[in-house]
Structure 1
């Protein structure tokens, strides 16, 4: 998960830097307000990074199963002939 985030962050930073440096300068002198270009570059970079990050496919990790412990448990029934419980079979119990 961290690797995916790191790749997305690097992509966003690269695209934002490229978008800010590529914006054309104004043709007339005296233009000191470039906040709009900076904001546009940041927005474009974030959008491109989000698109790239959403297209990354997650890796498949096989589920890890806990070892199954099983044992045979006797099945007992009351026998009126014997006057006590007797074992009539076994069942396998797993947990």
Structure 2
């Protein structure tokens, strides 16, 4: 799990560094079209959201199946086995 986190952190740092180096060039160009900045922000946001969601998701656990089985004892009065209780058995 630590390996995944380390890879995600390095990837996020690389993308953030690339975004910071690209941003000043567009700021000095005085271009009114900010589609590149919006696209970079959307890509970084989606990548960060995917990394966080992957780390925060719950793990799958197999469902526990339980049933009740009768516990029987020999009863000499009736001359047969009689149910005296039920035992919960999970597997």
TM-score by length of 1: 0.38
Larger helix proportion of the pair: 2
TM-score by length of 2: 0.39
